[in-house]
Structure 1
Amino acid sequence: MGDRLELLETGVPGLDEVLGGGIPAYSVSVVCGPPGSGKTTLCQQIVFNQAKRGRRGLYLTTLSEPALKMMRYQGRFSFFDPSLLGEAVIYADLGSVARERGLQGVVEAVMEHLKEVSPAVVAIDSFKALQDLSQSAAEFRRFTYELAVRLSTWECAAFLVGEYSPQDLEREPAFAIADGVIELSMEGTGMVRRRFLEVRKLRGLAPIPGKHAFEITPEGVVVYPRLRPPKEIEEGLSLEERIGTGIPDLDAMLGGGLAKGSWTLVAGPAGTGKTVLCLHFAKEGIERGEPVVFCSLQEGREQLIEVALGFGWDFEGAEREGRLKFLCKAPAELDPEPLASELISEVRSIGARRVVIDSITEIGASVGEESRLRDYLFGLFSALRREGATVMVTQEVPELFGVEIAAVGGISYLSDNVILLRYVEIQSRITRAITVLKARGSQHEKLLREFRITPKGLEVLEPFSEYSGVVSGIPTLVRGEEWEGLSAREGAVLRALRRAGEASAEELAERLSMPLSEVEGALAELASLGYILRFEKGGRVRYRAV
Structure 2
Amino acid sequence: MVWSAAVSVPIETTPRFATGVPGLDRVLHGGLPRGALILVEGAPGSGKTTVALQFLIQAVRAGESCLLATSAESPQQLRSIAASHGWSLAGINITGLSEPPSAEEGLDYTLFPEAEVEIGETFDHLFSEVERLRPKLLVLDTISSLRVLAPTAAFHRRQLKRIRDFMAARDCTTVMLDEASTTEKDLRSKTLSDGIIELRQKPSSYGADRRALRVSKLRGCSYMSGSHDVTLAAGGLTVHPRLVAQSFPSLVTATALDSGNSEIDALVGGGLPRGSNTLIAGPAGVGKSTISALYVMAAAKRGEKCAVFLFDESEESYIGRSEGLGLDMRVEVEAGRIELRHLDPAQLSVGEIADLVVDRVEKQGVKLVVIDTLNGYLQSAMEEPSVILHIRELLSFLSRRQIVTIMTLTQHGIFGTELFSPLDFSFLADNVFLLRFFELSGALHKALSIVKKRSGPHEHTIRKLTMRAGGVDVSEPLTSFTGVLTGTPVYQAESIVPFP
Taking structure 1 as the reference length, the TM-score comes to: 0.80
Q: Where do residues 47-58 of structure 1 align in structure 2 (5 Å cutoff)? A: 47-58=56-67
Aligned to 1:158: 174
Aligned to 1:95: 112
* TM-superposition CA deviations, 1:104-125 (whole Å, max 9, x none): 3322222111111110101111
Residue 420 of structure 1 pairs with residue 441 of structure 2 = no
Q: Aligned in 2, Cα 1:438/1:425: closer, same or farther, shift over 3 Å?
A: same
Output the CA distance in 2 between the equivalents of 1:281 and 1:18. Answer: 36
Q: Aligned in 2, Cα 1:432/1:369: closer, same or farther, shift over 3 Å?
A: same
Letter of the aligned partner of 2:162 in structure 1? E
Number of residue pairs aligned between Structure 1 and Structure 2: 478
Output the CA distance in 2 between the equivalents of 1:292 and 1:284. Answer: 10
Q: Aligned in 2, Cα 1:87/1:106: closer, same or farther, shift over 3 Å?
A: closer
CA shift, 1:400, in A, is 2.1
Residue ranges of structure 2 left out of the alignment (5+ in a row):
3-11, 96-105
Aligned to 1:301: 315
Output the CA distance in 2 between the equivalents of 1:274 and 1:434. Answer: 10
Partner SS, residue 452 of structure 2: strand
User: 8 Å contact 2:56–2:137 — kept in the other structure?
Assistant: yes
Output the CA distance in 2 between the equivalents of 1:91 and 1:34. Answer: 27
Quick one: higher RCO (CA 8 Å, sep 6+), 1 or 2?
2
* TM-superposition CA deviations, 1:285-333 (whole Å, max 9, x none): 1222222222212222222221222122222221222222222223332
Output the CA distance in 2 between the equivalents of 1:81 and 1:352. Answer: 37
Output the CA distance in 1 between the equivalents of 2:384 and 2:300. Answer: 34
Output the CA distance in 1 between the equivalents of 2:329 and 2:395. Answer: 25
Aligned to 2:74: 66
Aligned to 1:84: 91
User: 8 Å contact 2:436–2:487 — kept in the other structure?
Assistant: no
CA shift, 1:359, in A, is 1.2
Say which structure is richer in helix. Answer: 1
Aligned to 1:211: 227
Residue 338 of structure 1 pairs with residue 345 of structure 2 = no
CA shift, 1:354, in A, is 1.6
* TM-superposition CA deviations, 1:100-143 (whole Å, max 9, x none): 32333322222111111110101111112432233233332332
CA shift, 1:282, in A, is 0.9
* TM-superposition CA deviations, 1:449-494 (whole Å, max 9, x none): 221212233322243433333334454444xxxxxxxxxxxx26xx
Aligned to 2:98: none
User: 8 Å contact 2:82–2:89 — kept in the other structure?
Assistant: no
Residue 439 of structure 1 pairs with residue 458 of structure 2 = no
What root-mean-square deviation, in Å, do the aligned CA atoms of Structure 1 and Structure 2 show? 2.9
Letter of the aligned partner of 1:109 in structure 2? H
User: 8 Å contact 1:266–1:393 — kept in the other structure?
Assistant: yes
Aligned to 1:401: 415
- Aligned residue among 262, 280, 291 for 2:294: 280
CA shift, 1:24, in A, is 0.4
- Aligned residue among 398, 404, 412 for 1:384: 398
Residue ranges of structure 1 left out of the alignment (5+ in a row):
479-490, 500-546
CA shift, 1:334, in A, is 2.8
Residue 359 of structure 1 pairs with residue 373 of structure 2 = yes
Residue 8 of structure 1 pairs with residue 17 of structure 2 = yes
Aligned to 1:186: 201
Aligned to 1:175: 190
Partner SS, residue 419 of structure 1: strand
CA shift, 1:371, in A, is 4.8
Letter of the aligned partner of 2:66 in structure 1? G
CA shift, 1:144, in A, is 2.4
Rg comparison, structure with higher value: 1
User: 8 Å contact 1:295–1:358 — kept in the other structure?
Assistant: yes
Letter of the aligned partner of 1:70 in structure 2? L
CA shift, 1:178, in A, is 0.2
Q: Aligned in 2, Cα 1:50/1:231: closer, same or farther, shift over 3 Å?
A: closer
Q: Aligned in 2, Cα 1:86/1:231: closer, same or farther, shift over 3 Å?
A: closer
Output the CA distance in 1 between the equivalents of 2:419 and 2:351. Answer: 26
Letter of the aligned partner of 2:180 in structure 1? Y
CA shift, 1:90, in A, is 6.3
Aligned to 1:20: 29
Output the CA distance in 2 between the equivalents of 1:169 and 1:379. Answer: 39
